[in-house]
Amino acid sequence: MASSLLQPSPSSTMSFASSTSSSLFTATSHALPTLGFVDCSRTRTLASNGVKCDMSEPSNFVNGKPIVPVLNEQTLPKFMESARKEKVVSRNGNRLKLFSGAANPALSQEIARYMGLELGKISIKRFADGEIYVQLQESVRGCNVYLIQPTSPPANENLMELQVMIDACRRASAKNITAVIPYFGYARADRKTQGRESIAAKLVANLITKAGADRVLACDLHSGQAMGYFDIPVDHVRCQPVILDYLASKTISSNDLVVVSPDFGGVARARAFAKKLSDAPLAIVDKRRHGHNVAEVMNLIGDVKGKVAVMVDDMIDTAGTIAKGAALLHEEGAREVYACCTHGVFSPPAIERLSSGLFQEVIITNTIPVPEKNYFPQLTILTVANLLGETIWRIHDDSSVSSIFQ
């Protein structure tokens, strides 16, 4: 069944569809509060290939698929507005500074635009031998500084750059330094599964802490225990609502849905996702891993025959696990297969596997920048800038972060 996509015209700006109007949420009381930034005053017109929003601002496209833009703060959803009634965010940016590393400047710009601020001026250079040089080009004395830098590939370069940025802010007498890490690299090395292994996630947490960070803001860590590796406060933001809002815009009957975990390690994540998605049934792909980035699918637990299967994971790296899982779902009679994840790492040969026709759509967020060479027709990229921007405001104002998701 062809999916109904949000395809705004080149002269329009796309926003997330409100989940309250979707058929995904009509059959249950477990309706997710909408994280889509929708201005209800704008009208919609139906088109043959989906829903178009009549908006005036331009939108970015990825091979005809939208990168959802950031709208201004006046378009906050109702649940965020109601959460502010208890404690209003002052949004006084006089002592708040945002700085972007080189890993994902586009996301940093979107966050700053949502917050109504300008990114701080910073010089980041490389010496001839590859050493990193950082200089802040404006005062941060006594300020709350937020450094936006995912430790995505090249992970070691971006991680070292983040630490040098933290050190520069500490030596410039910043009051508080928050490392905003949309994608936390090394998170998969979170335990010892064999003898003489490093727990690199703890090591990286120590490096960030010792560099001088006072707080960490991260998105969808590979495992919850990674928060405990830091000896400083960690705000863990889950990006599932962004993807759920997008799925809610599709005309898929709740009776046709099944949420699939690609492995046993992701069952809790998939179960929480399924509960928000009309309390959809759950299926699990059983696999045996023979090495890093090597997976073999063995069995399927659950019924997917004639269903629209939504595979949920925190990241897609080489896509071996999720591609073999999708092949098994098709063999078991699934009508369509969607892949949803927060972090699109896309190490080779991920693009070949994801664009091979196994997936109706591959839905990711922009925590990691996707180079143009990795675009493919089934790819849809959703922005988490509004979510991160709102979280930063709440941290700065000492307001509740968890209330965003209630």
| pLDDT band with cut points at 50, 70 and 90 for residue 251 | confident
CATH class of the structural domain 96-237: alpha beta
Percentage of the chain beyond pLDDT 70 is 74
- pLDDT tens for residues 91-125? 666 799 999 999 999 999 999 999 999 999 999 99
What is the third-level CATH fold of 240-383? Rossmann fold (3.40.50)
Of the two residues 137 and 27, the one the predictor is more confident about is: 137
pLDDT of residue 154: 95
Domain with CATH 3.40.50.2020 in the chain: 96-237, 240-383
| pLDDT band with cut points at 50, 70 and 90 for residue 143 | very high
Alpha-carbon gap, residue 103 to 378, rounded angstroms: 24
pLDDT of residue 91: 63
Is residue 136 scored above 90 in pLDDT? yes
| pLDDT band with cut points at 50, 70 and 90 for residue 293 | low
- pLDDT tens for residues 32-89? 444 444 343 333 333 333 333 333 344 455 555 555 544 444 444 444 444 444 444 5
**Dihedral of CA 162/318/282/297: which sign?**
negative
Alpha-carbon gap, residue 230 to 205, rounded angstroms: 5
Give the burial string for 248-273 (b: 16+ CB within 10 Å, else e): bbbebebebbbbbbbbeebeebbeeb
Strand 144-148, strand 176-181: pairing: parallel
Is residue 252 scored above 80 in pLDDT? yes
pLDDT of residue 16: 36
User: In terms of C-beta density within 10 A (0-12 exposed, 13-18 middle, 19 or more buried), how is residue 42 classed?
Assistant: middle
Is residue 406 scored above 90 in pLDDT? no
SS3 category, 84: helix
